[in-house]
Amino acid sequence: MSRLRQASGAPRRLAATFARLRSQPGPGLVTYITAGDPDLDRTEGILRALDRAGADVIEVGVPFSDPLADGPVIQRATERALASGTTLVGVLDLVRRVRTAVTAPIVIFSYANPILRLGAEQFADQAREAGVDGVLVLDLPIEEAGEFRGLLAERGIDTILLLSPTTSDVRLLRAAEMGSGFLYAISRLGVTGARDVLADGAEQMVRRIRAVSELPVALGFGISKPEHVRAVGQWADAAVVGSALVSVIAAAGTSSDLNTRVEEYVRWLKS
């Protein structure tokens, strides 16, 4: 069976989405939010707003108490989400509730600890039942990802791998072999956070990946403006916006126009 097909024989959402993007002008937009910020009920509305606004892929972050790769914006969002009682099981239940209403692929973005506490196989089962399309585990080394990748692949879920400017050529090749759906490249070192300009090494990072893999590439870290998205589209298949979107959500908080402000921001990025 092709890795681009679900057990039912239908194309996977991620594969279908990136095939569509490659046939159209301009890059796709991958949006990241922290589930449970400000709470899970409002996150449901945010997911629907992102889909209405045209987000091509939605990354749903699972809050974790020690988010080492994240900058202050997402750290504070994580604190709010944990304070609201958000758990991995709660996030999967949320995805299950919105799955039929949201057309964009949904990727779970997590550290390893919450998944290990639940149990990798139980997580994979619940993710499949919820309609999750892909999983990215931030702190899971490529060398140790084989068994987890197998659990996901058996259930028709893509394994998204994270690559940085310091990833060696050997590890790039390994990622090209093991990854599916798309490869997530970060354009600079350090923690997450919006920037005024893109990192100088962004283009070179994507070129290195293109040399060893035909998988779509989404480029992130620092993207916050339409001009960033346009620039990324010169090299990658999609731009990833995270901290800047999380800041919009933080500013809106529990106000009645939260979903409207999220939708307007994403439409502006795609403009």
Q: Which of 70, 133, 237, 263 is catalytic?
A: 70
- Give dist(CA 28, CA 270) in Å, integer: 8
Q: Which of 37, 44, 51, 59 is catalytic?
A: 59
Task: Provide the Cα torsion 10, 11, 17, 23; round to 10°.
Answer: -120
- Give dist(CA 137, CA 217) in Å, integer: 17
Active site residue 214: no
251: left (phi over 0), alpha (psi -120 to 50) or beta: alpha
Per-residue tokens: 117: 């506490």
30 with 220: CB under 8 angstroms? Answer: yes
Active site residue 121: no
Q: How far is C-alpha 155 from the chain's CA centre?
A: 19
Task: Point out which residues pair with 124 in neighbouring strands.
Answer: none
**Residue 240: phi, psi to the nearest 5?**
-110, 125
**Strand-by-strand arrangement of the 161-163 sheet:** 158-159, 134-137, 106-110, 57-61, 28-34, 238-241, 217-220, 183-186, 161-163
- Give dist(CA 30, CA 52) in Å, integer: 14
Q: How crowded is the C-beta side of 68, counted as CA atoms within 13 Å?
A: 7
Q: Which residues form the catalytic set?
A: 59, 70
